[in-house]
């Protein structure tokens, strides 16, 4: 992952389209749970790999031990 590619590595914490300030949280997709962010436009970033359990993604978010 490159610096500035994600919010966690220095990317903008604001959506350029809807101007919403982005907050990292546990998100869900068909592939599983992940640490990422959503804005009014939809999913904005995926900061981590996928987790099978929501609890595992939450633990990674809480500890800061996530990354792709």
pTM: 0.87
Tens digit of each residue's pLDDT (9 = 90 or more) over 31-52? 999 999 999 999 999 999 999 9
- CA 2, 9, 42, 54 torsion-angle sign: positive
In a domain, 32, yes or no: yes
CA–CA distances in Å: residue 51 to residues 13, 22, 44 = 23, 21, 18
In a domain, 20, yes or no: yes
Q: Quick one: residue 67, left, alpha or beta (phi over 0 = left, psi -120 to 50 = alpha)?
A: left
Measured distance CA(8)–CA(46) in Å, rounded:
10
What per-residue confidence (pLDDT) applies to 22?
95
Average pLDDT over residues 24-36: 97
pLDDT at 3 over 90: no
Task: State how many domains the chain has.
Answer: 1
In a domain, 2, yes or no: no
In a domain, 31, yes or no: yes
For the chain, give the mean pLDDT: 92
pLDDT at 10 over 60: yes
């Amino acid at each position: 992952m490159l610096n500035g590619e994600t919010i966690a590595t220095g990317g903008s914490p604001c959506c350029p389209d809807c101007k919403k300030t982005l907050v990292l949280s546990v998100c869900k997709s068909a592939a599983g749970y992940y640490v990422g962010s959503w804005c009014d436009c939809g999913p904005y970033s995926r900061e981590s790999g996928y987790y099978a359990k929501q609890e595992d993604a939450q633990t990674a978010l809480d500890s800061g031990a996530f990354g792709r």
